[in-house]
Amino acid sequence: MNQANDLKLVLQYLANWIAEITSKNIVYYYDINKISEGLAMNLLNEVYDLELINLNEIKTNHPGIDLGDATKSLLAYQITSRTDSAKIKETLEKFVKENYNKTYSNGVKFLILNFEDIKLGNTNYKKIYNKFNKKTDVITYKELVKKINDIFLKDEAKFNRIKNILFTAYEKTPIARLLEEYLKNQSELGDIQLLCELVQERIKERIDIFVQLYKSSWSMYGIGDEDSKDTLNNKLNELLSMDNQISTRIQRIVEQIEEKSSYIKLLIDEYIELEEGFIRTIQEDIKKGALEIFNEKGTTFHNILKDNISNLIIKYNVNLNLFSKKFALSASLIENNFDSADEEYFYDKVEEKQQMFLKLIQLLKDREVRTLTIYCTEEDREFIREIDRESEKEKWPFPVTFIKMDENSYQTLESRFNLVDGDSYSAPQIQTNHVIFMTNTGIEKKRLKNLQKNSNIKYYYFSRNNI
pLDDT in tens, 7-51: 877 887 788 777 777 654 344 333 445 557 788 999 999 999 999
DSSP 3-state of 62: coil
pLDDT of residue 244: 81
Of residues 405 and 259, more confidence is placed in 405
Of residues 248 and 49, more confidence is placed in 49
Amino acid at 3: Q
Q: How far apart are CA 346 and CA 356, in angstroms?
A: 9
Q: How far apart are CA 312 and CA 277, in angstroms?
A: 11
- Name the helix (H) or strand (E) containing 273: helix 262-286
pLDDT of residue 411: 77
Architecture of the domain whose range is 186-324: Up-down Bundle (1.20)
pLDDT of residue 455: 65
Average pLDDT (274-285) is: 85
pLDDT of residue 391: 59
* 64, 95 Cβ separation under 8 angstroms: yes
DSSP labels, 369-421: EEEEEEEE-HHHHHHHHHHHHHTTTS--SS-EEEEE-STTHHHHHHHHH---B
pLDDT per residue over 81-114, tens digit each? Answer: 888 888 899 999 999 999 998 999 999 999 998 8
When mean pLDDT is compared across 140-144, 208-212, 335-339, the lowest value belongs to 335-339
* 301, 285 Cβ separation under 8 angstroms: yes
Q: How far apart are CA 441 and CA 407, in angstroms?
A: 10
Whole-model pTM above 0.85? no
DSSP 3-state of 51: coil
State what percent of residues in the chain have pLDDT above 90: 15
Q: How far apart are CA 439 and CA 462, in angstroms?
A: 6
Average pLDDT (363-387) is: 84
Q: Which residues pair with 421 in a beta bridge?
A: 424
Q: Which residues pair with 374 in a beta bridge?
A: 402, 436
pLDDT of residue 178: 44
Average pLDDT (250-274) is: 82
Q: How far apart are CA 293 and CA 283, in angstroms?
A: 12
pLDDT of residue 295: 67
pLDDT of residue 27: 42
* 188, 46 Cβ separation under 8 angstroms: no
- Name the helix (H) or strand (E) containing 80: strand 75-80
Among 37-41, 338-342, 439-443, the range with the most confident prediction by mean pLDDT is 37-41
Residue 117 DSSP code: P
Measured CA distances, 297 to 172, 287, 422, 453 (Å): 44, 14, 14, 11
Cα 231 vs. chain centroid, distance in angstroms? 30
Q: How far apart are CA 173 and CA 269, in angstroms?
A: 19
Q: How far apart are CA 276 and CA 145, in angstroms?
A: 27
pLDDT of residue 139: 93
Which pairing describes strands 457-464 and 432-437: parallel, antiparallel, or unpaired?
parallel
Q: How far apart are CA 218 and CA 434, in angstroms?
A: 18
Q: How far apart are CA 458 and CA 398, in angstroms?
A: 15
Q: How far apart are CA 68 and CA 77, in angstroms?
A: 6
DSSP 3-state of 114: coil
Cα 355 vs. chain centroid, distance in angstroms? 25
Average pLDDT (170-196) is: 55
- CATH 1.20.120 domain range(s) in the chain: 186-324
When mean pLDDT is compared across 83-87, 378-382, 406-410, 458-462, the lowest value belongs to 406-410
* 312, 158 Cβ separation under 8 angstroms: no
Q: Residue 310 pLDDT more than 60?
A: yes
Quote the mean pLDDT of the chain: 77
* 445, 461 Cβ separation under 8 angstroms: no
Q: Residue 429 pLDDT more than 60?
A: no
Quickly count: other Cβ atoms within 10 Å of residue 23's Cβ.
Answer: 20
Amino acid at 287: K
Architecture of the domain whose range is 343-464: 3-Layer(aba) Sandwich (3.40)
Among 242-246, 286-290, 389-393, the range with the most confident prediction by mean pLDDT is 242-246
Cα 117 vs. chain centroid, distance in angstroms? 12
- Angle subtended at Cα 267 by Cα 266 and Cα 268, rounded to the nearest 5 degrees: 95
- CATH 3.40.50 domain range(s) in the chain: 343-464
Q: Give the burial string for 436-449 (b: 16+ CB within 10 Å, else e).
A: bbbbebeeeeeebe
Average pLDDT (68-84) is: 90
Spatial CA neighbour of 314 closest among 331, 344, 342, 337? 337
- 312-315: long-range contacts (C-beta < 8 A, 24 or more apart)? 312/207, 312/210, 312/271, 312/274, 312/275, 312/278, 313/207, 313/338, 314/12, 314/15, 314/16, 314/19, 315/19, 315/270, 315/271, 315/274
pLDDT of residue 222: 46
